[in-house]
A and B are shown apart, each in its own frame.
Chain A
Amino acid sequence: MAEKILMKGNEAIAISAIRNGVDGYFGYPITPQSEVMETLMKERPWLSTGMVVLQAESETSSINMVYGGASTGKKVMTSSSSPGISLMCEGISYMAGAELPCVIVDCQRGGPGLGTIQPSQSDYNQVVKGGGHGDYKNIVLAPASAQDMYDFVDWGFDLAFKYRTPVVILADGIIGQMMEKVELRPQKPRRTAEQVSQDAPWATLGKTPDRERNIITSLSLEADVQERFNRKLQAKYEEISRNEVKYSTYMTEDAEYILVAFGCSSRICEAVTDILRAEGIKVGLLRPITLFPFPTEQLAELSKKVKSMMSIELNLGQMVEDVRLSCEGRCPVGFYGRQGGNIFTPEEIAEEFKKFNNLK
């Protein structure tokens, strides 16, 4: 049996990066995700796997280091929290435009502005709808445990390279700071130079006589070329939507009501489901694991069968809009959220659920 280690979600990200053969990490400290870089610095992977770990002078700088590293076909990543992700949005848009793979971890805290250092899910819209300018999307993975944090790094890089696109792991202060058991997977070697040029034939590794030069850019001044490119990007996002949706359900088979929640909120809603089931109310939970692509079809199917849905988020109503779009008016969709670092309790959500559904 693999060894099980007690660690924070943030530590799991760092250890997973080393064990999955990531080539480089560039970051800048910010609560509540600073343990990612702290752990990497403590582990000193440059002595074991040769992984580069660098503290940049700002988030703007670290995302552009990621851009540079990704241009050479390397597995590179960064992590930050909400205000830092805002600074990175320009770079993320450029990477989407240049079709560069990378993994970005956003361990959300409350906003707007400097906001609070406490947990929040108020950057759903920013991350899932793009964040930077232009017609682009990120693949967004929503972990709900330290084990997810560990596993999603590898999954994220698979998706990033498969589709040549940035992948965001959208965590929050709870998932980052909480310690849980994590099962470590076997150490994977970093890719060799040959493997990199095979996996990333587009990378700028020096021109060889047998091919045209590779160019990494997001600049395209000719209208038709740019339009063609943007349509190609959209086709890619449609392909991602067809192939990569991931979600989990809890007690939805006979459910008359559905709760929808992602990340830490989905765990709290599991407890809500248990409380309401004990009272004889048939509730089920759908947890989107990928936020883009969103489980639209699955929610649409459920909306034909249930009396109502309710989206539970640590914000003031963001994912609920996607839930409503999925249901297309077939059932009422309610919302309950908390903000500012206040975390809802299962009992509190159960009360709000009953209020919304006029249940005693």
Chain B
Amino acid sequence: MKEEIIIAGFGGQGVLSMGKILAYCAIMQDMEVTWMPSYGPEMRGGTANVCVIISDKKISSPIVTKYDTAIILNQQSLDKFESAVKPGGLLVYDPNGINNPPTRTDIKICRIDAISVAAKLGNSKVYNMAVMGAFLKVKPLVSFENIDKGLAKCIPARYSDLISLNRAAIEEGMKSVEEL
């Protein structure tokens, strides 16, 4: 099993931390991971993306150009990465701010209105966990037990109240995802 994922959006949407939490959940499930961020000039222009690879074997190349899944949070990223999804792959996107939705017919496309989920939970910072929940609903790579363990690794113990909030956002994301 090997899943190559690109997560892309604006800086501040929690793209890099979503990748990190996802990677930690996979580590808790005893899988191998790599997390490779863009840190170059494009990042300084306000967009952020990270490539996360999860595998049950040792990962050779951390650099790939075709992905099993693209998690897309803005129009620029959709324009850049829609064509990079492998045929039969998955594209998860948040429709807020998207004027030209994805058009490919040879991949599975899912929509998650994560802004509404975060608003419902009263904390905009859990936006990225709603998106991650949507992804994990469609591709259940990690168990709930390991999601909890992964969250606990990423959130300091003194903010333990935030673990339940993030967990709630993941669950809401799972409920709200629509397959198109």
Q: Do A and B bind each other?
A: yes
A180: chain B residues within 8 A (beta carbon)? 33-35
- Check A179 against B35 for contact (C-beta < 8 Å): yes
From A6, A116, A267, A271, B27 is in contact (CB under 8 Å) with A6
Give bound CA distance, A201 to B112, whole Å: 66
- Check A267 against B62 for contact (C-beta < 8 Å): yes
Give bound CA distance, A116 to B42, whole Å: 12
- Check A181 against B40 for contact (C-beta < 8 Å): no
Chain B interface, number of residues (Cβ within 8 angstroms): 21
B61: chain A residues within 8 A (beta carbon)? 267-268, 270-271, 345-346
Q: B37 in the interface, Cβ–Cβ < 8 Å?
A: yes
Q: A32-B39, A117-B40, A173-B39 are in contact. Are A178 and B23 (CB under 8 A)?
A: no
Give bound CA distance, A31 to B34, whole Å: 20
C-beta contact mask, B32-51 vs A, less than 8 Å → 1, else 0?
11111101110000000000
Within 8 A of A (CB), among B1-51: 20, 23-24, 27, 32-37, 39-41
Q: A31-B39, A177-B39, A179-B34 are in contact. Are A271 and B60 (CB under 8 A)?
A: yes
B35: chain A residues within 8 A (beta carbon)? 6, 178-180
Chain A interface, number of residues (Cβ within 8 angstroms): 24
- Check B40 against A345 for contact (C-beta < 8 Å): no
Minimal beta-carbon separation of B132 from chain A (angstroms)? 15
B37: chain A residues within 8 A (beta carbon)? 177
Minimal beta-carbon separation of B17 from chain A (angstroms)? 11
Closest to B58 in A: A270
A118: chain B residues within 8 A (beta carbon)? 40
- Check B27 against A177 for contact (C-beta < 8 Å): no
From A4, A178, A345, A346, B36 is in contact (CB under 8 Å) with A178
Give bound CA distance, A4 to B149, whole Å: 13
Give bound CA distance, A264 to B24, whole Å: 22
C-beta contact mask, A81-119 vs B, less than 8 Å → 1, else 0?
000000000000000000000000000000000001110
Give bound CA distance, A118 to B61, whole Å: 17
A281: chain B residues within 8 A (beta carbon)? none
B153: chain A residues within 8 A (beta carbon)? 6
Give bound CA distance, A343 to B65, whole Å: 10
Minimal beta-carbon separation of B38 from chain A (angstroms)? 9
- Check A116 against B34 for contact (C-beta < 8 Å): no
Give bound CA distance, A346 to B61, whole Å: 8
- Check B60 against A268 for contact (C-beta < 8 Å): yes
Q: A310 in the interface, Cβ–Cβ < 8 Å?
A: no
Q: 8 pairs across A/B with beta carbons < 8 Å?
A: A6-B153, A174-B63, A177-B36, A180-B35, A267-B62, A268-B63, A345-B63, A345-B65
